[in-house]
Amino acid sequence: MALATVARLTGDLQLAEDAIAEAHAAALETWPAAGIPDRPGAWITTVARNRALDVLRREARRGDLERAATAALTALESSPTVVQPIEDDQLQLLFTCCHPAFAPEVRVALALRFVCGLRVPEIARVLLEGDEAVAKRIQRAKAKLRAASIPLRLPPAGLLPERLPSVLECVYLLFTEGYAATEGDQWVRTELCDEAVRLAVLLARTLPEEPGAAALAALVLLQDSRRGTRVDDAGRPVLLPDQDRSRWDHGRIAEGIRWLAAARAHPDMSAGSAAYLLQAAIAAEHAQAPTWERTDWPAIVAAYDQLAQLTSSPVVLLNRAIAVSHADGPAVAQPILLALAEDPRLARSTALALALADVAERSGDLTAARRHLTAAEARASTVAERSHVRRIEERLDGLASG
């Protein structure tokens, strides 16, 4: 957060980054002897602000200060001498990282670096890319930010409808990057989920006129409420039907439901906002259901129906078919799933094979169920997925022999 505040004060991300690095070095030198200050964030921000001010003054004396930097120098000199980092600055930096002049993959890398404060190797692990490629992408973006004079600011209200979608998309990506993988650097992933939830809520609070922001806050809070129950003690994934609902985060669920209501209170919204809202509505149905069996499946099917109108995502259609299998029974869902199996985009889908196995099992056709599980196992791309398929196979073996 300190970086965002110094970036606002200086109007220069590179200068802010260098100043923060120097402030951290100064902290390493002085804190061990002098003790950690009462407000470490303010300490770092203040030291960094002073370093940046020194740099600008030095450049001004040499007479090679650009016009924008001259304004920054004037603003810095009149800023308070003790600076508290503030959340709004982070939001401002988030909008800059998500500027439409950056390609989507650049935005996520920039947000991970400058808003979430991850280092390049951590970003590379999160994005499953090489260190060098990530470093280069960030370097190039910083050069563009500076050369093209991309402003460090919250866009004016008139531009928000155009600028907000890429910000919401990026925050949701941060969340799913942290949430999706059960392998890898656990500490970073936990941090990432928390950070994405915090940013989504901050956006919703700051932009009460934007239903998309409220809907995204609801969505990530509701999904994140299940985080602690998604993996068992042995590190194996636990799917929704088998999760211990008493251990879901009921504080997050309540907060998510409040944001969902806030989003629904808006009379009209963009298709993108509606997509977040419908996904949040589905998550809310699950979060509020006492058990898997007593979930309001018709409500979930209805939400997926609306979602399918907004997106051509085959995953939405697959999830809709699974909901249909619970709302109307496996016999109704089976032909829908078989039709989806013809979609080339789902040709490698483990989830589709698993859904087909599930409806076959529930229709009493264990032979077909086994066939679909064999297909699922062949498609499984991670160890966790493969062991999940095996556990179902073992359960079927138990059913057949018992």
Partner 1 sequence: MHYMVLLYDNEANATMPGDPEFEALMAGYTAFGELGGTAIVGGDALVPAEASRAIRVTGGQVSVTDGPYAESSEVLGGYYVLDVPTLDDAIELVRHIPATATGSSEIRPIAMLMPPSTDPVPAGAVRYVATIHGPTSEADVPGTAAWDERSAAHGRFASEAGSAVAGGAAIQPSSTASTVRVRDGELLVTDGPFAEGAEVVGGVYLLTAAPDAVVDIAARIPVPDGGGVDLRPILELGG
- State the nearest-atom distance from the C-beta of 141 to partner 1, in Å: 9
User: Should residue 150 be labelled a site residue for partner 1 when binding is judged by CB under 8 A?
Assistant: yes
CA distance linking residue 59 with residue 54, whole number of Å: 9
Helices and strands (H, E) in the chain, number of each type? 19, 0
Q: Which is nearer to partner 1, 144 or 198 (CB)?
A: 144
Among 140, 345, 348, 395, binds partner 1 (CB under 8 A): 140
Q: 143 or 383: whose CB is closer to partner 1?
A: 143
Q: Does 254 bind partner 1 (CB under 8 A)?
A: no
In which region does residue 79 sit, left (phi positive, over 0), alpha (psi from -120 to 50) or beta (all else)? beta
Least Å from the CB of residue 136 to partner 1 = 11
State the burial class of residue 365 (Cβ atoms within 10 Å of its Cβ: 0-12, 13-18, 19+): middle
Q: 276, 212 in Cβ contact below 8 A? A: yes
Which residue in 17, 253, 227, 242 sits closest to 115, CA to CA?
17
CA atoms of 387 and 402, how far apart (whole Å): 22
Q: What are the backbone dihedrals phi and psi of residue 310, each rounded to the nearest 5 degrees, phi first?
A: -95, -25
Q: Is 310 in the site for partner 1 (CB under 8 A)?
A: no
**162/242 with CB nearer partner 1:** 162
Structural tokens at position 180: 């999706």
Q: Does 133 bind partner 1 (CB under 8 A)?
A: no
Pattern of binders to partner 1 over 92-131, x per CB under 8 A?
Answer: -------xxxxx--x-------------------------
Binders of partner 1 in range 12-71 (CB under 8 A): 68
* Contact with partner 1 (CB under 8 A) among 40, 121, 130, 151: 151
Task: Indicate the residue among 34 and 147 with the shorter CB distance to partner 1.
Answer: 147
Shortest spacing between CB 209 and partner 1, in angstroms: 20
Give alpha helix (H) positions in 35-111.
Answer: 40-62, 67-77, 87-97, 104-110
Closer Cβ to partner 1, 57 or 142, answer by number = 142
Q: Does 338 bind partner 1 (CB under 8 A)?
A: no
Residue 142 engages partner 1 in binding (rule: CB under 8 A): no
Options 149, 190, 206, 382; binder of partner 1; rule CB under 8 A: 149
Q: How far is the CB of 215 from partner 1 (least distance, A)?
A: 21
Q: Find, among 182, 162, 170, the residue nearest to 114 by Cα.
A: 170
CB within 8 A of 186, min separation 6: which ones?
none
**Is 144 a binder of partner 1 (CB under 8 A)?**
yes
Integer angstrom CA distances of residue 262 from 114, 158, 169, 215, 253: 30, 22, 19, 8, 14
- Taking CB under 8 A as the rule, does residue 143 contact partner 1? yes
Q: Which is nearer to partner 1, 139 or 186 (CB)?
A: 139
Please identify, among the stretches 155-163, 208-216, 323-331, 348-356, the one whose residues bind partner 1 according to the rule CB under 8 A. Answer: 155-163
Q: Residue 13 in contact with residue 142, Cβ under 8 Å?
A: yes
| 149-157, 214-222, 246-254, 308-316 -> range binding partner 1 (CB under 8 A) | 149-157
Asked whether the beta carbons of 273 and 211 are under 8 A apart, the reply is yes
d(CA 330, CA 359): 5
User: Greatest CA span in the chain, whole angstroms?
Assistant: 87
271 binds partner 1 (CB under 8 A): no
Q: Candidates 159, 254, 315, 347: give the one binding partner 1 (CB under 8 A).
A: 159
**Site for partner 1, rule CB under 8 A:** 68, 99-103, 106, 140, 143-144, 147-151, 155, 159, 162
